[in-house]
Amino acid sequence: MGFFTEIIGYLAAVFGTALMMPQLYKSFKTKRVDDISMVMLIVYLINCSLWETYGILIKSNPVIICNFLALIIGSIQVYAKKKFQSR
């Protein structure tokens, strides 16, 4: 892979990983998660898992790093959803 391609990959990894951070921050700040869909979170985790597997198979560090971190962030959001959800 060329240098430019690697830069694009790592930039995509940074932005892809940051995608869920504002929602995660808001969830812990407000302790409100009623407006977050658990189905969306599950689909997000499945998506990240598939991309992680793909990244490993093609040996692409940007894809592996991004989706590993996204899985952690998504898992923390699921935890927040369970913890703060109204009963």
pLDDT score recorded for residue 1: 64
In one-letter notation, the amino acid at residue 34 is D
Thinking of the domain 3-84, which architecture would CATH place it in? Up-down Bundle (1.20)
* Buried/exposed code over 46-62 (b: 16+ C-beta within 10 A; e: otherwise): eebeebbeebeeeebeb
pLDDT at 16: 83
How many Å apart are CA 12 and CA 2, to the nearest integer?
A: 15
Residues in CB range of 87: below 8 A, 6 or more apart? none
Q: Among 34, 32, 63, 35, which Cα is nearest to 49's?
A: 63
Q: Tell me the C-alpha distance between 74 and 1, whole Å.
A: 29
State mean pLDDT over 49-77. 94
